[in-house]
Structure formats: C-alpha cells, structure tokens
Amino acid sequence: MDYRRFRLPEFTAIHRRDYWLAAFAGILLALSFPKPGFSILAWCALVPLMLACGNKSPQKAFKLGFVTGLVAYAGILYWINIVVTTYGKLPWIVSLSVFMLLVAYLAFYLGALAWLVRRGEEAGIAPLLSFPVLWVGLEYLRSFLLTGFPWASLGHSQYRTLPLIQIADITGVYGLSFLIALANIVLYLIIRAVVKKEPEAYPTRGLIVLLLLLVLVLFYGSSQLSSSEDGKPLKVALVQGNIDQEIKWDPAFQEATVAAYERLSREACAAGVDLLVWPESAAPFFFQSDAKFAPRIRALARAVNCPMVVGSPAYERECDTVRYYNSAFLLSPSGEILGRSDKIHLVPFGEYVPLSQLFPFVHKMVTGIGDFSAGAKPLPLNTGKGQIGVLICFEGIFPDLAREYVREGSRLLVNITNDAWFGRSSAPYQHLSMIAFRAVENRVPVVRAANTGITAIIDSKGHIRAMTTIFKETFLTGEVRLGEGGTFYGRFGDIFAWLCLAGCAVIGIRIYRHKSRKA
C-alpha cells in the first residue's frame, strides 16, 4: 500500500482535507458516547484531528480543534434543542442560538488543547507528554468552571467496560480519560512515523508505557471485579411513573399521578422490600403541607411497611421571604417524615435564572414554582437499615457531591431524576453512563428512579444489574449490598486531575519562557 498519498499537511494554509479530518474526529468522538455508544472509537477518535494539525501553526491548530469540538458536542448534545423548544417554549432560532453558544464554549477547550500541544512542540515538549496531561487538565477545568458541566468526559464512554473503569476508585473518571488520550497520541505518532518512513520516530517508549498502564489497569480492574461484596443486603423497589412533562405540574392531573404511583408501588412491594423510591418531583405539590394527597402517600408507606423516598418540592419561610427547594423526603414505615434532602447543584435556566435582574425576559423551564434555592450541604438520610445519600437529577454527574455523601456516612446512593425533558433522545443513556461512575468511585451501589426512565440498579463495581426502557410505566426491584466507602478517591478526591492541571500550568510556563526567549 502506498502511504505517501496520506502525507501529513505541511506548515501551510488549512486545506479542505484538514477540515474534513477535524470534522471526522468530531464524528468519531460523538459516536463513542451513548447512543450509539461505540466505545472503542474513543481510543482512536482524536487521531484524525492530530493528523490534520500536523505541522500547522498553533493558530491553525486551534481552528481545527475548534471544528472537532463543534462537531463532537453538536452530536452529543443535540437533545438540548428538544429541551429548550418543547419545554422552554422558545422559537427554534433562539434554541439553536443557545445550543450553538454552549457547543462553541465546549469546543473552545478542544481548540485550546490543539493550540497548546502545537505551542508545546515549538517549545520542545513532546506531544506524547503534553497531550494526555492537557486533555485531563482542561476536562477537569470544564467540570467546575462557570458552575461546571462535566457531561461526556472522555472516560465516560467506557462505562460498560467494567475491567477498565475500576480505576475510578483511585483517579475518578480522569484516569481513564488520561489513558484514552495517551492511546490516541501514541497511535497518531505511529501513523506519522509510518507515513514519513522514519522508523526512528516510532514512539517505542510511549507504546511501552501505554501497554504497561493498560496491563496494570486491567489487572487492577480484574482483581476488584473478583472481590465479593460483603455489605448488608437491601431490597429496593424503584417506581417509574412515566408522567408526561406537559401535564406533570397541572393540578388537574395530580389525582391520576398519585393513583399511578400508588398502584405501581403496591405491585413492586408485594413481596416485601426494604426501601421504596419514587423519582424526582413524583409528588408535584408541596408534600410537607398538602392536605389532600400527602396523607395518601403516608398511608401508602404504612401499607407497604417500608421506608420511602418521595421527590417533591419543599419550601421554607424566613420572615417575609419564601425559599423553594427541589427535595426528597424520607418517610418511615409509619408514614412519618424522617428527613429531607435538598438539591444542592441546581440546573441554570432549568431551576433558576442566573443574573435574573439583568435578564427579566428569561424564564426557567420548571413552571408553577418560583426560582429554587440550593440546599446548604449534603445530608444523608437514615432509613433504619443504613444511611443513603440522595442525588437529585443533574447532581448525579458531579462526583464531588456523591463523594461528600459517602464521606458523611451514606452507604447507598439514590439518584432520583426526571429525564422526561430529554424526550426519546440519547440524553437518558448519557446520563446513566455518568451515574455508573459514582458507584465505582465510592464503592457503594447506586439505585436510580427516573420518571420516564432509565430506572436502574448499579452495584458497587459499576455493573448495571437491571434497567428499564424509556417512556414506559413500570417498576424495578432488586437487591443491593450496602457499600463500604473509604476509597482512595473518596478520601482524596480529584488529586490525579489536580496533578494534570498543575502539569498544564508547567507546560504553560514552559511555552511562555520559550516565547520570551524567541522575542
């Protein structure tokens, strides 16, 4: 085969071929996440981008990286248009503007990555070293900058590859992102050496390091998977009411909603369970003061004779001020309120409007209730058979919150959510893929009750033992073993990501000094 026709671009203008390569990288990256979730593609998705950048200037590399990011995140987050137009009631033109603004923001990170790698090469920093460090550092920065959006980190694409994801109890998802980024750059360097016919340019050391890391990660993962779960067994019942978002907050449908959940709960608990879980805002009224439906839910807890988690809005009065919360109530088997967990990390424009005084014409998408306030801190709820930490919807994608709950004594994480917003898109599957990592990071099981799905039971090794289909009225029952917690990641958090972020700073200093010397 004549490899010369695949010659790398020279230090010239950006050709149309380079833009196509960058776009192709974005397509491969998008396809590696659910759905369709071809996870193997993540290990080579970034190679076309690096081939396109070749010997380009840092400025041209930024443009190509930006193109890759635009295509990738447009493919991953297309469902935002469903949310904004269907439930935000905004015109398509406005929806597309908001969508492209978010996609451009996320694409900027990929553009910055390509720019820094090329700048680093000019400063004598091998891409084999800079690429994986910069990838993780920027990915981690994205997880907390501007309230944070750690959606679809590179490592999340591997959520079904159980031997690989066990490393998350040490490094979080970022260790896996580092490994995938390293594999991409090694493959790129191999292709470059073949194309240029320079055997001495083969990344021999890099390949050895990659293979060694893969062996170590797989060995560690296999040992973790072969260990037994010794925690106390807990039978759970998760109810999926499948209530249409269009009628969810309509008082006229409250009776039908409560009746559906009552019927499903009685069926789910017929054989006896230790915990019954309803989804986020399953009770679309103020449970703490409702006189019509709250007594029925309390009576249901007595009838099924088990603790019960109910998603419902809550409020607190402070003088003349009323604060609203997106909450989960824990009921005892006698129907009494044992505790309440308030959502801490709210969804911008979904549950509150940032800078609302400057944008009075912008409204949030959850109607019927004023802007929600954030909960003060993670508060585990005691079921009598173990403490649980409740992650409400969007909170499930933030590892620091799950870690705090476990650190405070939670031995089971409960994710209640309402993914009806996403319609029949890939978003519910993407959401689930990130939740699986919370189990591995903390070595505690996660049970998930979703209004329209996906409802799931995940063990402490990230294995999804059972799950429902979307938009189906159903329930899920199963047994989990309460976790132990106390993992390295649980104790020290994102120390690996912080080290990579520090590495980014070192690379930046090296680039700056090189530029100063040239000047």
**Do 172 and 494 form a contact (C-beta atoms < 8 A)?**
yes
3-state secondary structure of 1: coil
Q: Of 139, 280, 351, 395, which is the active-site residue?
A: 280
Residue 280 is a catalytic residue = yes
3-state secondary structure of 45: coil
As a whole number of Å, the CA-based R_g of the chain is 25
How buried is 286 (Cβ within 10 angstroms: 0-12 exposed, 13-18 middle, 19+ buried)?
middle
Q: Of 60, 248, 343, 364, which is the active-site residue?
A: 343
Name residues whose C-beta falls within 8 Å of residue 260's C-beta, 6 or more positions apart in sequence: 241, 243, 473
Q: First vs last Cα of the chain: how many Å apart?
A: 45
Q: CA torsion, points 281, 282, 284, 290, in degrees to nearest 10?
A: -110
**Do 15 and 62 form a contact (C-beta atoms < 8 A)?**
no
3-state secondary structure of 366: coil
Residue 29 is encoded by which pair of tokens? 């990256």
Residue 235 is a catalytic residue = no
Q: Of 53, 269, 306, 393, which is the active-site residue?
A: 393
Residue 480 is encoded by which pair of tokens? 């989990």
**Do 428 and 470 form a contact (C-beta atoms < 8 A)?**
yes
Rounded to whole angstroms, how far apart are CA atoms 497 and 516? 29
Name residues whose C-beta falls within 8 Å of residue 37's C-beta, 6 or more positions apart in sequence: 157, 160, 429, 433
User: Which residue type does 469 have?
Assistant: T
Name residues whose C-beta falls within 8 Å of residue 196's C-beta, 6 or more positions apart in sequence: 8
3-state secondary structure of 389: strand
Residue 254 is encoded by which pair of tokens? 């409250």
Catalytic residue numbers, as ranges: 280, 343, 393
